[in-house]
Chain A
């Protein structure tokens, strides 16, 4: 391929491919194996589930069978942790292939992952690592999002992660980076309210600025979760109830973004399903209080 042709292939499209906004799903939970039996045997009042993609990117067996059965009864969103969209290492072709195959099987409402990287030089740290918010990083991630969206044949959804360090040479705030990213690629945003709270505390900014800085029409999902407060910094542990401050930010997010599909995540000290449902009911109540009739209207579409 000539250099000229190569440049043409890599060039960003003038306009992102238009894609309909994913539908409003209501109030869901992160799908965890501990709850499989209660979900399948009962009829929990949960509108949808978010499945961790990698948990089902396996050859076969019970997890996939259970996912099929849950999918038959509930909408599913696939949420990945290893896309490594911001890595400077080449994509894993096997990973993308596996993701596409799982999407073919599950027919998720949408596919999400995180604005982060997980490793370079063929290594995966299995963590959601921070990026500098620079023009260079933005151009890099934009090209990678285009690549993934072309391969999957659909717009993806990207989540803001909790970060513990920031880079001094960042030349824009995280919300500006996300805004530019969605504008240039047509990707949607998963707005993790707890992550905003964690990062704002860790980096001494106002979480409300983040909420105000993200384009309202691009946010298609909220995450709520608990964390560990160490006084000097907060760690995003997903092992506790959603705290009052995050509920307040959820209210502010609802006011700005309107009715947005919401889930509660729990990855450690996972309580029985009934307790998760009770916390989800709190999210429903908060949303009803903030949005009133707009919530019922969104649910009816």
Chain B
């Protein structure tokens, strides 16, 4: 009997929070955030039970939603990585990311942006270098999807320049374009899974895989580049004029066909919407004394 009464009293005490000093709105929000993100229970003093369940259960709705919502975001942004790792490993990894990387942006679109770096330094997955590289590729594709809009350079606009001045033209990459160099076969793994195939075993590559990612129309696109084309793209992206690009290509391989190869790359880039403009290089003025 006494035991039952004590139990009742305990239950009543649990139902009614102990009176404490009322916190300011700022203090309450700090406490609530700590409760949701770090499991701190101090805020429970401010919350009553409802007639059917405890305040711990009710607060648990926020705690659970916080993690599951952000884990879902990581999964939506990295569907191929999720498939590669499998639900269990991916889920544990994503929960670790949520714990270590609180969102600092108003827009959840950017929440998973730090995932490749997180994976590179992960004690569990860091040694599997293809994992971070798959995440890098998916991040680049996500970024290409909603990168800034810009005009797309076409041959008509290019032909507005007289042929004798093409050598002075500097090519402007589309804002969605990004280059990636991968040291593992992450691209082959990504592509196999993308096509619902069996991925090859992870492997380090003897020579790096050079990729370019961009938005072709509205579709994020990825394409491997040969060493020469990648070199020319990288130099073009720095603002090196076309004549100098041709010279670099001539050094890279057979000089007699260099101009033809460079023109071929340019044509491919224009056809695929990888460039947004071509501008005449500024001529250096002689400094007046």
Contacts and interface: CB of A to CB of B under 8 A. Distances in A.
Given A168-B48, A233-B57, A127 B146 contact: no
Interface of A is mostly: loop
Nearest to A141: B25
Interface in B51-83: 51-53, 55, 57-59, 61-62, 65-66, 69-70, 73
B6 interface: no
Interface stretch (B99-107, B119-127, B257-265): B99-107
Interface string B83-127: 000000000000000000011111111010000000000000000
A87 B33 CA distance: 11
B55 A165 contact: yes
Contacts of B139: none
Interface in A34-72: 54-55, 57-65
Given A60-B149, A82-B106, A87-B29, A129 B62 contact: yes
Given A61-B218, A126-B70, A166 B109 contact: no
Interface string A86-97: 111100101100
B36 interface: yes
Interface stretch (A9-17, A132-140, A241-249, A252-260): A132-140
B175 interface: yes
B32 interface: yes
Nearest to B110: A58
B52 A233 contact: yes
A168 B61 contact: no
A123 B22 contact: no
Nearest to A237: B65
A215 interface: no
B61 A233 contact: yes
B277 to A, nearest CB: 16
A109 B109 CA distance: 25
Contacts of B150: 60
Interface in A243-276: none
A59 B175 contact: yes
Contacts of B24: 136
B179 interface: no
A132 B52 CA distance: 21
B16 to A, nearest CB: 8
A61 B52 contact: no
Contacts of B136: none
Using C-beta atoms within 8 Å of the partner chain, give the interface range for chain B. Answer: 35 or more
Contacts of A54: 106-109
Interface stretch (A19-27, A114-122, A145-153, A284-292): A114-122
Interface residues of A, number: 53
Contacts of B25: 86, 88, 131-132, 134, 136-137, 140
Contacts of A95: 106-107
Given A127-B69, A168-B47, A202-B58, A61 B147 contact: yes
A88 B29 contact: yes
Given A54-B109, A60-B149, A164-B61, A120 B26 contact: yes
B69 A120 contact: no
Contacts of B37: 123, 125
Contacts of A63: 146
B147 A233 contact: no
Nearest to B150: A60
Interface of B: 17, 22, 24-26, 28-30, 32-33, 36-37, 46-48, 50-53, 55, 57-59, 61-62, 65-66, 69-70, 73, 102-109, 111, 145-150, 175-176, 215, 218
Given A60-B148, A125-B66, A165-B62, 12 more contacts: A54-B106, A55-B109, A59-B148, A63-B146, A86-B25, A88-B26, A120-B30, A121-B30, A131-B25, A164-B61, A167-B47, A202-B58
30 contacts: A54-B108, A58-B146, A59-B149, A60-B150, A60-B175, A61-B145, A61-B149, A61-B218, A82-B106, A118-B106, A120-B29, A121-B33, A123-B33, A124-B103, A124-B108, A125-B66, A125-B103, A126-B69, A126-B103, A126-B108, A127-B62, A127-B66, A129-B62, A134-B25, A164-B58, A164-B59, A164-B61, A165-B59, A167-B28, A231-B52
Nearest 6 pairs of A and B residues by beta carbon: A60-B149, A232-B53, A61-B146, A88-B26, A62-B218, A232-B52
